[in-house]
Amino acid sequence: MDFELFFHSKNWLALNRQNFKSFLLIFTAFALIGAAFFNARALGMADKLPQHSFTRAQMSIGISLSKLTYGAEGYLLYTPVIKSLVENGFSGDQILKPGQINTAIHAARSLQLGGGPVASEKDWGDDKGYSDFTTLAFRLFGFQIEALFSLYFVMLGVAVTLFALRFYDDRWALSILVTFLVAHLLVIQILPNSGVTSVVHDSRFLPAVSSISMFHWLLAIARSNRRAMLEVPLLIAQAAIIVFVLNCRSSSIWQVWAVAFTLVMVGFLSLRRGDMKRMWSFVLWLGILVSGVTSLNLYKGLTYDARYRSENGTRAHVVWHNVYMGLGFHPDAIWKYDLLPDDSTVYRHALNYLEQNPEVVKSLGFEGTKLYEPVFVPMGWGGYDKAVKTMFFTFARNDPKYVAEAFLLYKPMLLLEEFAWQVGLKREFPDWVKINPVHGPAGDLRIKFLSLPLLFSMFLTFWACRGGHGRSGGSANVLCFGLGVTFSLIPSIAVGPFYYELPVVFIIFSMVLIILISALIDSGLRWKLRSYEAPR
């Protein structure tokens, strides 16, 4: 073939035009990460923790300091370390003073603990795995609160890089990535609305990073790949991010469920079509995902201290406490059951339930134990959560209509109303469910859809994907994306649409709106072009 002829051919120009569009989408993705970094830093997130929810970070930082500075094993939290943190700034408004968190960290690293055994705190009923995030941050960036902020964006950059390596010539997939990062940037700007999840490195917001990994998996299932040798290593790397975030925040299990469900569904369809090669590849992928989650559970069983692994201990966040708390999301909750969706209500209900049902206390192995509020102290977090599970199912048997209405009607309704308020479609924040004011928005920050990054990215993705959204399989792409969106709602429906828990859901919802708006603009422009081209 004549090289110059090929160089000047229309095919070569078309190929390079497509490559240029892909490059521009990837460049835009990393530019959006940079914009998110500088926006978050300008909002003061680099050296802060959430004002009303710093305890989880406090405990995790304490575990990291106990391990890295004093050699603690088993994720133990040394009592002198946590006391030092509290005395030197991890308390009340002290947490907001500039430099106070670093002062507390440095003070906790300067203790004289002696050579004997060090007293350790009891099980504190939350994800100990978040301490792996703080430990890794301190190892990479030093013993300072800014390390947590830096690690968040490193993880985000790694997830995006892996995505770009897999889909670098797939404009449709890259447009999904850009859309996610636009929504991510917009949501970062409203995080100060909450005093509970007001920084990007809070454990509740970490699933934003692994959402990119989840969409990588879902799109890989839907779209063919000519570089099969790279497929599995990249999927393993993204699975590692998903599992690491799951370790930090157990409620992010919905991302595993979304991928696993899609793999099983598409694998079954491949089996029915007789495409055995594709079916067995999905079996391999499912094995990778399941082995990652299984390995995490085995790791916890082997490394966690016995107090966390005991029958009445917990290696992750309590589950049934949160589910029962979600029963408060019903307009009849207060007058009918004296239910508010908060922790103290569940503690009170659990004590009353156990006092009125001594057979339950006996069945749980606590006969003769003096119970008092909060019940998790005498029962341990594991025993307490089992008691709340029994209480929940007793409640459900006694009033199944109420439970069905809460889960299937009022929670989805409240979730949609909260999002409508967040994007400016609703004037007032919904108040037909009474909540602790700390759990609602602290301000009136809304997602600014008419922003320059959004408008530019919408134009870019429309232009880059014009003439076809990459390779074939459009319906499968939409289905996989829809499954990711649907599964993201599970925590809000199972527990409750707490405003402080919703930032990641806001990102996913915003993606849907952005894609719908882009599709309408695309359809309108195409219709206009056809009307001009039609014979008169």
pLDDT tens digits for 367-390? 889 999 889 999 999 999 999 999
Residue 174 domain-assigned? no
Residues 6+ apart with CB under 8 A from 198: 45, 48, 50, 51, 191, 192
Using pLDDT thresholds of 50, 70 and 90, give the confidence band for residue 60. very high
Using pLDDT thresholds of 50, 70 and 90, give the confidence band for residue 3. very low
Residue 413 domain-assigned? no
pLDDT in the model for residue 12: 45
Residue 377 domain-assigned? yes
Residues 6+ apart with CB under 8 A from 7: none
Q: Is the peptide bond before 192 cis (omega within 30 degrees of 0)?
A: no
Mean predicted confidence (pLDDT) in 471-493: 79
Cα separation values, 473 from 220, 222, 522, Å: 11, 7, 19
Residue of higher predicted confidence among 457 and 536? 457
Highest-confidence range of 11-20, 54-63, 514-523, by mean pLDDT? 54-63
pLDDT in the model for residue 264: 93
pLDDT in the model for residue 7: 45
Residue 386 domain-assigned? yes
pLDDT in the model for residue 389: 96
* Distance, CA of 375 to CA of 325 (rounded, Å): 15
Using pLDDT thresholds of 50, 70 and 90, give the confidence band for residue 516. confident
Residue 366 domain-assigned? yes
Using pLDDT thresholds of 50, 70 and 90, give the confidence band for residue 317. confident
Residue 363 domain-assigned? yes
Phi, psi for residue 339 in degrees, rounded to 5:
-110, 125
pLDDT tens digits for 359-371? 999 999 998 899 9
Q: How many domains does the chain have?
A: 1
Q: Is the pTM of this model over 0.75?
A: yes
Cα separation values, 3 from 6, 7, 15, Å: 5, 6, 15
Residue 390 domain-assigned? yes
The DSSP annotation for 146-196 comes to HHHHHHHHHHHHHHHHHHHHHSTT-HHHHHHHHHHHHHHHHHHTTGGG-SS
- The tally of CA atoms less than 13 A away on the side-chain side of residue 347 is 14
Q: Among 69-73, 146-150, 181-185, 469-473, where is mean pLDDT lowest?
A: 469-473
Residue of higher predicted confidence among 93 and 346? 346
pLDDT tens digits for 4-37? 444 445 554 455 666 888 888 999 999 999 999 9
Residue 382: give the domain boundaries. Answer: 330-398
Q: Is the dihedral of CA 64, 70, 75, 79 positive or negative?
A: negative
Residue 382 domain-assigned? yes
Q: Does residue 309 register a pLDDT over 60? A: yes
Mean predicted confidence (pLDDT) in 226-235: 85
